[in-house]
């Protein structure tokens, strides 16, 4: 069962209406299903600690970065505002970099760099990427505030599942120690949240890359486990088929809109991230007939990813891509858990890259298409086409015009849709609040 709804409502009071209707339709703190937030790539804080084994890339990094450490040696790795300055950018990239070992068949940190995610289980590290810079690093704070107005409370009915977003997952038979450990921790958190709330199954609310992790978790556990512990899966801006933006990241580096940063300074670090390899465009979604990258010598479709990785000067990415990633993404299985996808559309999104002289060190000319500014529309809607014949999969897709990949967590209309969906799941009301609001408005305008 697949439903598709399109919402372009631009009324600033919609969120207030959603929250006031919540009490009317019975989603009180007494009957709330526990809810777990799973962030996207770069969507939570990350800390690091250095040991004597670590060898800094230069003298400056050894002596001056980081500027601030805790007494026990831990420091904020992501997000630290000093990375906006070129000398510190290099230090940051060196410590964020991952390495792939063909003998281990797995990824690992730079020797001497230990990393951790603060306060797993809590929403703390999801609110702001740097609590000292709340205005510029706000992530899920507004979303959490909206959920708290529904009656959700941190550590009681509301939980956070931050993770080391540099790591991803691999196909069956290949180790992925960090990513697999996260799935184990998330599974345990789901079970604990359910148990502490009288056995109520859990609502999973993900953003971006978090949706891919959740889908893998569901499909790696039994149908009986899913039925017992998961009530509903709500995915915001999930890149089900990857994103064209990742090809720019691999070819020329990607500052993700952060000012002053030279993309070439972070390119090697970005290429090293296991999760970025997972997010390259899926051939089954993007197809063979669409040129994604064009140079004077040739063009590359999603089926030409091996040649692309070689030609941009990253041949070491070929083996893990072929053995770990391709088998992982070739069959996206329906989990038979009720799902709602909420996405933004109508935003200029990278669709094709044009390089002069095949020089990938230069930023390309860009052809834009539809999407949410980061993920292409074809990827956001991939499950509709891939699962169109699935009889036991409930899937609803809500499209919101003009909402970007990150503003979906802040935009009033988007928050209204999210809150309305969570309240509907809790109260078993089948009518969507936004529809009620539109109908009321139509009546009042007559």
Q: Are residues 167 and 284 located together in one domain of the fold?
A: yes
The answer to whether 280 touches 304, Cβ cutoff 8 Å, is no
The answer to whether 308 touches 300, Cβ cutoff 8 Å, is yes
405 is catalytic: yes
Across-strand partners of 369? 349
Q: Are residues 302 and 396 located together in one domain of the fold?
A: yes
Identify the pLDDT of residue 300.
98
How many Å apart are CA 306 and CA 357, to the nearest integer?
A: 20
Burial level of 119, CB count in 10 A (0-12/13-18/19+)? Answer: middle
Q: 370 lies in which domain range?
A: 2-41+121-422
Burial level of 174, CB count in 10 A (0-12/13-18/19+)? Answer: middle
The answer to whether 236 touches 208, Cβ cutoff 8 Å, is yes
Domain boundary among 60, 92, 116: 116
Q: Are residues 23 and 60 located together in one domain of the fold?
A: no
Burial level of 427, CB count in 10 A (0-12/13-18/19+)? Answer: middle
Q: Are residues 380 and 272 located together in one domain of the fold?
A: yes
Task: Supply the mean pLDDT for the chain.
Answer: 90
**By C-alpha distance, which of 278, 242, 247 is closest to 107?**
278
For residue 233, give the DSSP letter.
E
122 is catalytic: no
Look at phi and psi of residue 118 and say left if phi exceeds 0, alpha if psi is from -120 to 50, else beta.
beta
Q: Are residues 271 and 361 located together in one domain of the fold?
A: yes
**By C-alpha distance, which of 6, 69, 90, 33 is closest to 403?**
6
Q: Are residues 72 and 221 located together in one domain of the fold?
A: no
208 is catalytic: yes
How many Å apart are CA 43 and CA 353, to the nearest integer?
A: 26
**Is residue 429 a part of any domain in this protein?**
no
Residue that has been written with the tokens 């801006």 in this structure? 237
Across-strand partners of 341? 235, 397
**Is residue 408 a part of any domain in this protein?**
yes
Domain tally for the chain? 2
Q: How many residues does the chain have?
A: 446
Q: Are residues 177 and 147 located together in one domain of the fold?
A: yes
Q: Are residues 67 and 193 located together in one domain of the fold?
A: no
Identify the pLDDT of residue 372.
98
Residue 228 CA to its chain's centroid (Å): 25
Catalytic residue among 80, 207, 405, 434, which?
Answer: 405
Identify the pLDDT of residue 68.
87
The answer to whether 293 touches 251, Cβ cutoff 8 Å, is yes
Catalytic residue among 125, 146, 176, 208, which?
Answer: 208
**Is residue 155 a part of any domain in this protein?**
yes
How many Å apart are CA 392 and CA 40, to the nearest integer?
A: 27
**Is residue 433 a part of any domain in this protein?**
no
Catalytic residue among 372, 379, 411, 434, which?
Answer: 372
How many Å apart are CA 296 and CA 368, to the nearest integer?
A: 20
Q: Are residues 232 and 294 located together in one domain of the fold?
A: yes
Domain boundary among 62, 93, 116: 116
Domain boundary among 116, 135, 168: 116
Q: Are residues 406 and 340 located together in one domain of the fold?
A: yes
How many Å apart are CA 293 and CA 366, to the nearest integer?
A: 10
**Is residue 89 a part of any domain in this protein?**
yes
Which 3-state string (H, E, C) describes 405-424?
CCHHHCCHHHHHHHHHHHHH
**Is residue 342 a part of any domain in this protein?**
yes
CA 304 vs CA 29, 174, 201: distances in Å: 51, 23, 42
The answer to whether 250 touches 270, Cβ cutoff 8 Å, is yes
Identify the pLDDT of residue 269.
96
**Token pair in block for residue 338:** 């009720």
The residues of the chain scoring below 50 in pLDDT are: 9-16, 18, 22-27, 429-446
Helix (H, G, I), strand (E, B) or coil at 148: helix
Identify the pLDDT of residue 435.
40
- Going by C-beta distance under 8 Å and a sequence separation of 6 or more, which residues neighbour residue 128? 134, 137, 138, 139, 141
How many Å apart are CA 271 and CA 250, to the nearest integer?
A: 6
CA 319 vs CA 271, 341, 370: distances in Å: 14, 32, 32
**Is residue 63 a part of any domain in this protein?**
yes
Please compute Rg for the chain using Cα positions. 22
Helix (H, G, I), strand (E, B) or coil at 116: strand
**Is residue 291 a part of any domain in this protein?**
yes
Q: Are residues 228 and 374 located together in one domain of the fold?
A: yes
Identify the pLDDT of residue 169.
98
**Where residue 362 sits, what CATH number does that domain have?**
3.40.50.1820
The answer to whether 156 touches 121, Cβ cutoff 8 Å, is no
Q: Are residues 104 and 130 located together in one domain of the fold?
A: no
């Amino acid at each position: 069962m697949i439903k598709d709804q399109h919402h372009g409502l631009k009324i600033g009071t919609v969120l207030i209406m959603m929250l006031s209707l919540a009490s009317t339709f019975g989603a009180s703190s007494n009957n709330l299903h526990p809810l777990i937030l799973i962030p996207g790539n770069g969507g939570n804080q990350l800390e690091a600690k250095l040991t004597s084994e670590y060898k800094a890339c230069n003298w400056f990094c050894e002596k001056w970065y980081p500027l601030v450490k805790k007494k026990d040696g831990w420091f904020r790795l992501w997000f630290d505002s000093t990375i906006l300055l070129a000398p510190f950018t290099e230090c940051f990239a060196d410590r964020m970099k991952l390495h792939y070992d063909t003998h281990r068949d797995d990824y690992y940190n730079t020797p001497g760099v230990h990393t951790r995610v603060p306060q797993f289980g809590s929403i703390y590290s999801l609110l702001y990427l740097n609590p000292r810079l709340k205005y510029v690093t706000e992530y899920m704070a507004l979303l959490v505030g909206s959920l708290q107005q529904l009656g959700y409370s941190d550590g009681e009915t509301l939980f956070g599942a931050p993770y080391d977003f540099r790591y991803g997952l691999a196909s069956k038979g290949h180790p992925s120690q960090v990513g697999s450990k996260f799935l184990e921790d998330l599974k345990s958190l789901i079970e604990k949240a359910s148990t502490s709330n009288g056995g109520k199954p859990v609502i999973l609310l993900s953003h971006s890359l978090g949706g891919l992790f959740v889908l893998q978790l569901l499909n790696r556990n039994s149908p009986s486990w899913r039925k017992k512990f998961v009530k509903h899966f709500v995915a915001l801006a999930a890149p089900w088929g990857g994103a064209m933006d990742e090809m720019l990241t691999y070819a020329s580096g990607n500052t993700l809109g952060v000012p002053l940063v030279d993309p070439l300074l972070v390119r090697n670090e970005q290429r090293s991230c296991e999760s970025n390899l997972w997010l390259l465009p899926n051939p089954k979604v993007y197809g063979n007939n669409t040129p994604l990258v064009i140079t004077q010598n040739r063009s590359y479709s999603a089926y030409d990813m091996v040649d692309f990785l070689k030609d941009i000067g990253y041949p070491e990415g070929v083996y893990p891509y072929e053995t770990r990633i391709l088998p992982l993404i070739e069959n996206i299985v329906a989990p038979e858990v009720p799902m709602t996808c909420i996405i933004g559309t109508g935003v200029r999104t990278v669709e094709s890259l044009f390089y002069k002289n095949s020089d990938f060190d230069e930023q390309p000319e860009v052809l834009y298409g539809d999407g949410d500014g980061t993920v292409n529309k074809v990827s956001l809607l991939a499950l509709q086409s891939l699962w169109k014949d699935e009889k036991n999969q409930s899937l609803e897709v809500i499209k919101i015009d003009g909402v970007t990949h990150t503003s979906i967590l802040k935009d009033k209309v988007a928050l209204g849709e999210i809150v309305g969906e969570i309240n509907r799941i809790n109260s078993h009301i089948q009518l969507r609040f936004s529809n009620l609001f539109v109908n009321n408005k139509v009546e009042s305008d007559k």
